[in-house]
Structure 1
Amino acid sequence: MLAHKWDDNVYCVMDIETTGVDPLNGDRIVEIAIVPVYKGKIVKDWIYSSLVNPKVYIHAYAQKVHRISNSDVEGAPELDEIVSVVRKYSQGTILVFHNATFDLTFLDYAAKEVGQLPLEVDYIDTLDIAVAIYGRRRKLESLAKELKTSHRVTHRAIDDAHVTAEVFIKLYERYGWGLVHEFLKRWMGREY
């Protein structure tokens, strides 16, 4: 199978880890990673990864998933710095997520909490692509195994962003710009 030619967009693949699954009830971001992809290659010099001080308690069940403790995030950057970094990375790029609504909703809450407007970004969700190709939702672990990525899902932001980046690259090369860009969406903040 021939690999499809890449366009000139920079794709910033993003993943977050959180204190729980419900930002409406106070769960917040504890880790974020951004892995830029250009012309089918991960741009190592542009990678961003940071723990985040959520200013709320990290539940024990969340700590079991991502192994990030309350003491780990004590001196980490706070939400205002993280939202600023995300805004910089999203300027003139297309963000890529696996299950974008989850990450973008948490980022909206982070922006709101620090007194900023929600993000307005262009994005692609590899989960949407998987549903179109396979006819059902697929976990990132499942796609990574099938597509033979070199990284494994660990529920740490940098590892999972790398996995998502590799999945995105393989999907792009297999199906091309035409299919991938059918899934290009615009996020303009979530209605609460």
Structure 2
Amino acid sequence: MKGVKSGGIWHLYKMGGITPAITSMFNAQSAQQMAFIRSIMREQRKNPLFEVPLDTLELVVFDLETTGFSPYNGDEIISIGAVAVQGDKVFEDDTFYSLVNPKRPIPSDVTQLTGITNDMADAAPDLLYGLGSFLEFVRQKVLIAHGTGHDKHFLNSALWKTSKINSTHRMLDTMMITKWLNPDLEKYDLDYVLAYYNVDITTRHHALEDAMMTAKLWSKLMAEIRSRRIHTLGDLYTQLSRHQ
């Protein structure tokens, strides 16, 4: 706000409303991206989805690669991958992938794990644009990830940094679902669960590949969910709430 002269942001607000004030602080395209992200979240709040049958439910399975484990201590998103799903059908040709510029060096161990270098990140879109493009792909669909805690924290942190808003999307966790369906498994990390359900493991720690493998895992889990007489998203949430 220090760059706003002649009365500051409140002067701009009085002269023409908040949009010119935002646009003066950022460029017009950035302001549009912020407005779009906020509109997606507003629309999502109007869409409870609980009565939608799981067989017709539209979902997006996603994965984030990051510089570390703590978005509140300086770690940032470096890539986003996602694939569209409806019911148990995985749309392998309907995908999203973007690198994201974290505006900080990528640790060498993260580069070794993900294959994402500082040069690749420097040429990537900023967080605002990468996040906006991802949400344009997602729209009002339910989000799925494996071990959602990590991804949810980074997603909410990114939304707050760019648009001062939190995610309102419904989210499902394939790890939690697997624990409910298979309470006696030795482990529940993605590699172990993929192997247990005979899902081919391709390239791990690549956001799109991890999202695709998790989507195929979800498809396998759906068969077991149906066998438990779970028919709607609300049914599934109710069942999972009893096994937390």
Pairwise TM-score range, normalised by the shorter structure = 0.7 to 0.9
Q: Secondary structure at the match of 2:166?
A: coil
Asked whether the equivalents of residues 129 and 183 of structure 1 are also in contact (C-alpha less than 8 Å), the reply is no
Matched, 1:83 2:111: no
Matched, 1:138 2:188: yes
Distance apart, 1:83 and its partner CA? 2.2
Aligned to 1:147: 197
- The percentage of counterpart residues that share the same residue type is 26
Matched, 1:20 2:68: yes
Distance apart, 1:179 and its partner CA? 7.6
Residues 83 and 184 of structure 1: CA distance in aligned 2, closer, same or farther (over 3 Å):
farther
CA offset digits 1:65-99 (Å, max 9, x no partner):
21211111111111111222333344331110001
Q: For 1:174, give the aligned amino acid.
A: E
Aligned to 1:190: none
Asked whether the equivalents of residues 96 and 137 of structure 2 are also in contact (C-alpha less than 8 Å), the reply is no
Aligned to 1:50: 98
CA offset digits 1:35-69 (Å, max 9, x no partner):
11124222234210111111111111212221211
- Where in structure 2 are the equivalents of 1:168-179 lying within 5 Å? 168-176=218-226, 178=230
For residues 57 and 144 of structure 2, the distance between their equivalents in structure 1, rounded to whole angstroms, comes to 12
Q: For 1:167, give the aligned amino acid.
A: L
Higher RCO structure, 1 or 2 (CA under 8 Å, sep 6+): 1
For residues 154 and 162 of structure 2, the distance between their equivalents in structure 1, rounded to whole angstroms, comes to 13
Aligned to 1:38: 86
- Where in structure 2 are the equivalents of 1:150-165 lying within 5 Å? 150-152=200-202, 154-165=204-215
Which structure: larger Rg? 2
For residues 109 and 72 of structure 1, the distance between their equivalents in structure 2, rounded to whole angstroms, comes to 23
Q: Secondary structure at the match of 1:178?
A: coil
Q: For 1:154, give the aligned amino acid.
A: R
Asked whether the equivalents of residues 96 and 126 of structure 1 are also in contact (C-alpha less than 8 Å), the reply is yes
Aligned to 1:66: 114
82-91 or 153-162: bigger deviation: 82-91
For residues 183 and 56 of structure 1, the distance between their equivalents in structure 2, rounded to whole angstroms, comes to 40
Aligned residues, how many?
A: 181
Residues 157 and 67 of structure 1: CA distance in aligned 2, closer, same or farther (over 3 Å):
same
Aligned to 1:189: none
Q: For 1:119, give the aligned amino acid.
A: S
TM-score normalized by the length of structure 1: 0.85
Distance apart, 1:29 and its partner CA? 0.4
Any unmatched runs of 5+ in structure 2? Answer: 1-52, 239-244
Q: For 2:57, give the aligned amino acid.
A: N
Q: Root-mean-square deviation (CA), in Å?
A: 2.2
For residues 183 and 119 of structure 1, the distance between their equivalents in structure 2, rounded to whole angstroms, comes to 20
Q: For 1:142, give the aligned amino acid.
A: Y
More strand by share: 1
